[in-house]
Amino acid sequence: MARSLCPGAWLRKPYYLQARFSYVRMKYLFFSWLAVFVGSWIIYVQYSTYTELCRGKDCKKIICDKYKTGVIDGPACNSLCVTETLYFGKCLSTKPNNQMYLGIWDNLPGVVKCQMEQALHLDFGTELEPRKEIVLFDKPTRGTTVQKFKEMVYSLFKAKLGDQGNLSELVNLILTVADGDKDGQVSLGEAKSAWALLQLNEFLLMVILQDKEHTPKLMGFCGDLYVMESVEYTSLYGISLPWVIELFIPSGFRRSMDQLFTPSWPRKAKIAIGLLEFVEDVFHGPYGNFLMCDTSAKNLGYNDKYDLKMVDMRKIVPETNLKELIKDRHCKSDLDCVYGTDCRTSCDQSTMKCTSEVIQPNLAKACQLLKDYLLRGAPSEIREELEKQLYSCIALKVTANQMEMEHSLILNNLKTLLWKKISYTNDS
């Protein structure tokens, strides 16, 4: 009887289910298309960023055009532009104006670096001028004698390094490096290449520290492109992931994950000793003091024997040069008086200008980087003493009385503590 009163009631439930199913399907399709759209947009943005960062073809074209017209010369030019036995591999660039690639040169691995913009002055947050191809290789001019070129280089070093007593020795060393074909003479093209390279602090530091263990060796150059020794592991710690995966990993979790992918503790100790030795190399070396203005893990690497090798030294600058450039910089607070990420001076509120004295020495920055790296997994019998030494090191200030004595004492104590623990292991 009830069925006859509501003859269409039994049809309503299937219709309701059908409508609900259609709604769920539309919702699923909407979110699927949304996910595809967002994913495609992210990939497009990242690809655009990659193509802006990785401009190796442009760099090669500029350099080879100059070489083929006889403007520049160098030991890497023929391999790069004629026989093509020097080629670019994986892109490591982090900024468009500083191109960096893993490369192969005559079956030998190396790191290729090329400047896409001028680097004639230190950058304190402002954009560098676009590369001026007409004037980039304009010095020395035709007719310049070797003696005149030596005077030019000497004046440049005096401005960068200060009035060091042995600058003439460094000038002669540069001329030896500039003679790429080793014929005993520096051609005009080689001199133009050398002059462009000497504007770059990393190249200058490689020449100065060419006999030091932790500085990568210079393999060759062409114009302001240069090839340096390859490093097996191009970061102090961490794991390399595809950039698509990197997008979805929070930075905090990424830092924690990086600490998991490190060598065993004795090997970390050996790498840390290498960093401390490098700090010694640049601290009051034969041509003055150099300041480490970016001590991040990505700038340090190590080889298969766990010897530290510097990967990127572009933010290691002569102290004299930095002081001269920053001392008259206008400021409102200490935040305006920073070069790189780690070279900080203070803002004098009476003159509203930056002071010239860098607050934190290289050793304190290195210890800050090594603190978590060494304390994680440290043997219990030395952990307390190691932590004490590291915190004393981090507290170092340039302005402290007897800073140099404290610097040497803490550095030697740290090296001794680490060496004693690993000296009888296979990792030493």
- Contact between 80 and 63 under an 8 Å Cβ cutoff? The reply is yes
Q: What is the mean pLDDT of residues 253-268?
A: 79
Over 90: is that where the pLDDT of 108 sits? yes
Q: What is the per-residue pLDDT for 390?
A: 96
- Contact between 245 and 233 under an 8 Å Cβ cutoff? The reply is no
Per-residue pLDDT of 194-212, as tens digits, reads: 999 999 999 999 999 988 9
pLDDT band at 2 (very low <50, low <70, confident <90, very high): very low
Q: What is the per-residue pLDDT for 79?
A: 95
Q: What is the per-residue pLDDT for 293?
A: 93
Over 90: is that where the pLDDT of 370 sits? yes
Structure tokens at 333: 């607070």
Cα distances (angstroms) measured from residue 11 to each of 21, 24, 25:
16, 21, 22
Q: Report which residue type is found at 210.
A: Q
Angle value at C-alpha 345, between 344 and 350, nearest 5 degrees = 150
Over 70: is that where the pLDDT of 404 sits? yes
More confident residue, 174 or 138: 174
pLDDT band at 34 (very low <50, low <70, confident <90, very high): low
Q: What is the mean pLDDT of residues 221-250?
A: 77
More confident residue, 252 or 352: 352
Please list the residue range(s) of the chain that carry CATH number 1.10.510. 243-423
Q: What is the fold, at CATH topology level, of the domain defined by 243-423? A: Transferase(Phosphotransferase); domain 1 (1.10.510)
In the block, residue with structure tokens 């690639």 = 101
pLDDT band at 132 (very low <50, low <70, confident <90, very high): very low
Helical spans, DSSP H, in 54-93: 56-68, 77-81
Q: Parallel, antiparallel, or unpaired for β 300-302 and 338-339?
A: unpaired
pTM: 0.81
Over 50: is that where the pLDDT of 384 sits? yes
Round the CA-based radius of gyration of the chain to a whole number and report it: 28
Q: What is the mean pLDDT of residues 87-114?
A: 88
Reference 137, options 195, 81, 198, 222; nearest CA is 195
Over 90: is that where the pLDDT of 112 sits? yes
More confident residue, 318 or 254: 318
DSSP-derived secondary structure for 225-241: EEEEE--SB-SSS----
Q: What is the per-residue pLDDT for 14?
A: 59
Rounded to the nearest 5°, which phi and psi values hold at 382?
-120, -5
- Say which range, 236-250, 312-326, 350-364, 401-415, has the weakest mean pLDDT: 236-250
DSSP conformational letter for 182: -
| Other CB atoms within 10 Å distance of the CB of residue 334 | 15
Which is it for the CA torsion 34, 35, 40, 43, positive or negative?
positive
Q: Parallel, antiparallel, or unpaired for β 290-292 and 225-229?
A: unpaired
What is the CB-side half-sphere exposure of residue 150 using CA atoms within 13 A? 14
- Contact between 389 and 411 under an 8 Å Cβ cutoff? The reply is no
Q: What is the per-residue pLDDT for 155?
A: 94
Summary mean pLDDT of the chain: 83
Name the burial class of residue 337, with classes exposed (0-12), middle (13-18) and buried (19+) by CB atoms within 10 angstroms of its CB: buried
What is the CB-side half-sphere exposure of residue 374 using CA atoms within 13 A? 29
